[in-house]
Structure 1
Amino acid sequence: MRRLLWPLGLAALICNPSFAGSPAADCGPIRIASDAGRATETRPEGPLTLPGALAITGRVNPDLAAARREVQVFEAAIRQARSRPNPELSAELEDTRPETRTTRLALSQPIELGGKRAARIDAADYGRAAAEAKLIASQMRICAAVRVAFFDALIAQETLELAQASAELAQRATQVAERRVLAGKVSPIEQTRAQVNEAAVRVALHAAEKALTTARSQLAGAVGDETLPVDRLQGDVASLPEWLTRAELAQHIDAAPAVRQARIALEHSRARIQVERSRRIPDLSVSVGAQHDSERDLDQAIIGVSVPIPLFDRNQGNLEAALRQSDQARDELMATKLRIATRLDQALGRFATARSELTFLERDILPGAQGAYDAVLKGFELGKFSFLDVLDAQRTLFSARSQQLDALREAHHAAAALGALLGDGADDASLSSVADLR
């Protein structure tokens, strides 16, 4: 089986080449599906492949578009955080009589103390980093969903072909039974059994057709384009990653998208603590202006300084809330690491079980089942076996093939789960190791 470069390859497939070096890089133009107009480049000219499906996902998936919008929101928040307080112009008029009127005109400028602006900018920067980490995690999660849906549809396509082959064999068996009945070699009940078996196979064929339609619809939904043509899929359903080791992949848990997102959330909460601490220090307001006394015809300069007295409100509540949120973020980081490690272990176990089952089926069961069916069918035509023997051999063969497809589906689901868990944190060396998973 060919080795797939996942999960690192999944990120590269869905994003532009520049994405690997910059988490915030755009994954192509944001195109939300609409009835009026879709980008023509989202339509594959030939059969749809997994790389093609992932590339289309990067352009049209609305969940990815929403995650990119969140990054843009925090970029705007950074620009706002860098803004300084506006000056204030005030005008006062004392007495309405012109001969005794006093007019004051003053300009005041608040001056932030305690590092408020720097803390505010730092918190906004961490907010953008958190949004970028969330975008990467969303990309990995959606990549995994598209991969699962693609291989589910591809396996449903293979299952339909298997059901069609089964129907052809059942029809052939019925024809053989008819000839033997006409020749007087077997009882007519053999023909009835063959016809009943063929009818049951036709029912299974109809169910396989419905399952393929459903799988194709789920693939289009996972991509984010319900009108995407998915009637022709191309891929190697037997292509699986090589065996992996828990020890090697466990080294990359800290770089997993969910863990990275939780770690940045913790840093963001700590930055908000600094913001709340800086707000405990009152700001200074300096004012300058002029005053004209009409009664004495006298102009005077005005210089003032004002500062709030933190007697009642010292921002103690907001600071306490920020501290508790930081504690919560730290606990969530630990919980995320534990959850990722547990899910990694489960996914590796599922992958190992599926690979072992595939090896057993392909090495021991399928060749024997195929050989037995061919021999029994030929013997039935020569009168050496009954139709029940043919039916039993046929069921054994197609049951083994169905088990093979089920094992492939499970292996691809586990592989996609590993890709979603580890993202692009696993390097190429750790993915190519061949070792016992247990």
Structure 2
Amino acid sequence: MREKFLLAVAILCFSIALSIAGAVAAEMPVAQPTGPAATARLSLDEALALFLRQNLDLIIAKYGIDYAQGQAITARLFPNPVLSVGAVGSWTQGRTLSRSGQVYPQVQQLFEMAGKRGYRIESAAYGIQGAEAAFEDAIRQLSFTLKETYYRVQLGLRRLNLAEENRDRFARILEINTVRFKKGFIAEVDLIRIRLQVVDFQSQVITALQDTESARADLRVLLQLPATTKLELTTDMEYRRIDPDVRAMQQLALDGRPDIRVKRIARAQRSADLKLAQAYRYPDVTIGGGYALQGPQGPDNPQQLGLSVGVPLPLFNRNQGGIAQGEVNVQVAEADLRKTLVEVENQVDIAHRNLIQSRNLVEAYQKGVLEDARQTLTIVERAYERGGATILELLDAARTARSIQLNYLESLFNYQRNVFQLESAVGREIST
């Protein structure tokens, strides 16, 4: 019988565990199933929307709000009453407990004084606000990571296209000059130089492809997509001139950045905790009531009502340590807030400076340097085909054009990254 009973209890516990697991799984966000070769076409805004729905770091941060709400529920609860039962009896001279004893059931209730429950509720409310602000700050920081990764994929694709273009160009030159070498029109060393350059451009193609696939993998991880998902990104890495007012940006950051709100809420919560610690100097009151039941041979036989009041005497412990700790916590929260304000102001200033410098560099390239590099390569290539330029001049023009184009792509990516960095520092998107 005992074994059957234990088996039944085990089955019941397992069933309850399965029910709880099923309920939790039903509430958790789940990515849509994708086929083995599914393709996701995403603009930057669509990637952000998918990111906000499925990123596990954000989901974990959101659970912090639920945890704080649970603490708020606990803070509102009253202490449970205590039921106690006492019995007194005599076994002498033929007496028994049922005939001469006394049973005294009593219910006691603790009443918190000096507003302790209210201070706990106040602190818990600040905890919810802080968790919500922390969740917004997680969105701010991780959104920057997503945008940067999105454009890192686009940068890799632009590099890959450039490397393939250079490889194909010199592959054609190699094919033509192989025929010319066989006819004795060029020296073997020139053919070797062209062949080496083709191999170098092929190496650059492989490197760019690896960098692009690595960035794609990072983006899939952020979006919680399977490794088999093919990503097609539709938002190009284009230049959009932005000239923000740094002072206005700093003020916006100081007024609305969520991590600053977290620190301000933490300071307010520490103040509420200090008030709670100070309230513990005053003792709580325990009130009890009971009914004494006596046997027929009790001392005076009639039934009795009882009332008790208990108050701790605060002679030694008046929560001196808790008050001292609360005062220190308030000072620490205040210092942490001031530190964050200084850091945010400087972050905006640095991000703005980097944006202006990268913007100037992009515009310098766009004023004609890129086109000059392309035309120079085309002119030298045509001159080489007519015999008016050497292979060294052609290779030098190709390397210069490639270097200028790569530097432009890097500057364009850095400019866009600095735009996102400034938006992250301010805590909002920048339109002008």
Please say whether Structure 1 and Structure 2 have the same fold, judged by a TM-score greater than 0.5: yes
Change (3 A) 1:62 1:432: closer
Identity of aligned residues (%): 22
Q: Give 3-state SS (helix, strand or coil) of 2:107's partner.
A: strand
Work out which of the residue numbers 46, 52, 55 in structure 2 matches 1:52: 46
Work out which of the residue numbers 379, 382, 397 in structure 2 matches 1:378: 382
Q: What are the equivalent positions in structure 2 for 1:404-415 lying under 5 Å apart?
A: 404-415=408-419
Counterpart CA distance in 1 for 2:34 and 2:316 is 62
Work out which of the residue numbers 21, 29, 32 in structure 2 matches 1:31: 29
Work out which of the residue numbers 335, 341, 344 in structure 2 matches 1:340: 344
Does structure 1 residue 100 correspond to structure 2 residue 113?
A: no
Q: Give 3-state SS (helix, strand or coil) of 2:41's partner.
A: coil
In the TM superposition, what whole-angstrom CA distance separates every residue of 1:100-157 from its partner, at most 9, and x where no partner exists?
Answer: 2122122221111100111000000001111111100001111111111110111101
Do 1:253 and 1:337's aligned partners in 2 also have CA atoms closer than 8 Å? Answer: no
Shift of 1:416: 2.2
Q: Give 3-state SS (helix, strand or coil) of 1:232's partner.
A: strand
In the TM superposition, what whole-angstrom CA distance separates every residue of 1:12-59 from its partner, at most 9, and x where no partner exists?
Answer: xxxxxxxxxxxxxxxxx7425xxxxx4249998652222222122112
Query: What is the one-letter code of the residue matched to 1:53?
Result: A
Partner of 2:71: 77
Does structure 1 residue 389 correspond to structure 2 residue 393?
A: yes
Do 1:104 and 1:292's aligned partners in 2 also have CA atoms closer than 8 Å? Answer: yes
Structure 1 vs Structure 2 CA RMSD: 2.1
Query: What is the one-letter code of the residue matched to 1:355?
Result: R
Partner of 1:62: 56
Query: What is the one-letter code of the residue matched to 2:149?
Result: A
Q: What are the equivalent positions in structure 2 for 1:114-133 lying under 5 Å apart?
A: 114-133=114-133
Counterpart CA distance in 1 for 2:248 and 2:74 is 44
Do 2:239 and 2:412's aligned partners in 1 also have CA atoms closer than 8 Å? Answer: no
- Once the two structures are overlaid, the 10-residue window that deviates more, 180-189 or 194-203, is 180-189
- Once the two structures are overlaid, the 10-residue window that deviates more, 146-155 or 39-48, is 39-48
Work out which of the residue numbers 303, 306, 311 in structure 2 matches 1:307: 311
Shift of 1:196: 1.2
Counterpart CA distance in 1 for 2:143 and 2:273 is 32
Q: Give 3-state SS (helix, strand or coil) of 1:341's partner.
A: helix
Partner of 1:9: none
Shift of 1:201: 1.0
Which protein, 1 or 2, shows the higher relative CO under an 8 Å CA cutoff with sep ≥ 6?
1
Counterpart CA distance in 2 for 1:386 and 1:154 is 36
Counterpart CA distance in 1 for 2:268 and 2:418 is 32
Do 2:355 and 2:418's aligned partners in 1 also have CA atoms closer than 8 Å? Answer: yes
Do 2:111 and 2:284's aligned partners in 1 also have CA atoms closer than 8 Å? Answer: yes
Do 2:34 and 2:229's aligned partners in 1 also have CA atoms closer than 8 Å? Answer: no
Partner of 2:332: 328
Does structure 1 residue 361 correspond to structure 2 residue 393?
A: no
Do 2:241 and 2:359's aligned partners in 1 also have CA atoms closer than 8 Å? Answer: no
Change (3 A) 1:411 1:230: farther
Counterpart CA distance in 2 for 1:374 and 1:263 is 61
Larger Rg: 2
- Per the normalisation by structure 1, the TM-score is 0.85
Counterpart CA distance in 2 for 1:224 and 1:271 is 40
Number of residue pairs aligned between Structure 1 and Structure 2:
395
Partner of 1:227: 227
Unaligned runs of 5+ in 1: 1-28, 33-37, 434-438
Work out which of the residue numbers 402, 407, 416 in structure 2 matches 1:403: 407
